[in-house]
Amino acid sequence: MPALLLIAHGSRDPRHAATVAALVRQVRAQRPGLEVATAYLDHCAPRIPQVVDRLDDAVAVPLLLNRAFHAKHDVPAALRAAGAALPVGDVLGPSPLLLTALDRRLAEAGLDVHSAAVRARTGVVLAAAGSSDPAADAATRAVASEWRRTRGWAAVEVAYASAGGPRVPDALAAVRAAGGEHTAVAPYLLAPGLLPDRIAAASAGADVLAEVLGPAPELAALLLERYDAARRAAAVVPALTA
């Protein structure tokens, strides 16, 4: 069985690598016997060339929520530079598992997400990093729309910690105007760092502030879904060309 090569962005903040390591432990717990290796695009070690040299066979899965610049350009370029012709799985979003992970973090922060009445009175801000890629931001807005539709929130608005678009205070005002008697901020981010800290600082007016997605079991399951899909796709190609 090929190894799972998890490709994370990396950060100077040590909480980032610690969170990735915790997520890797979740993946290993869910699939014992699978070799899981981690490589980083920037800031952290090990980098991709250091890892692929010791892997006999692997499937790469980017630890990224959207198909923005890092997924479209940085990951393929880094693999090419390392001389690694590996199958590459899709990014994590969108997926129902991400919505469940967001629910989990809100519940841990004290919101009764299992009560339909509470959800109907609560406006949620989905606080993302933001991107210069319009398609990536559109994907985040689609996640917000699906989350509202499937959970029955009073409103779900997107806010961004960087790039353009509304900030958290603007989004909080919008969900209140849409009928949210209570408000919650859910970071749509994978690990602690500068942007989650910025979101937290801007969320003083919210009733509930959730943690980042982090090593949620749903994320581990989703990484394995992406790994399995890429492995199956890679197996089909030789069969078609044989």
The per-residue pLDDT for 125 is 98
Distance CA 207, CA 204 (A): 8
Alpha-helical runs (H) found in 152-213? 168-177, 194-201
Q: What does DSSP assign to residue 141?
A: H
Domains of the chain, start order = 3-92+216-241 (3.40.50.1400), 96-209 (3.40.50.1400)
Phi first, then psi, for residue 210 (nearest 5°) are -85, 165
> Global pTM?
0.94
User: Block means of pLDDT (10 residues each) for the chain, length 242 residues?
Assistant: 96 96 98 98 94 94 90 91 93 97 98 98 96 89 98 98 89 98 98 96 97 98 98 76 45
The per-residue pLDDT for 29 is 98
The per-residue pLDDT for 200 is 98
Contact (Cβ atoms closer than 8 angstroms) between residue 68 and residue 179: no
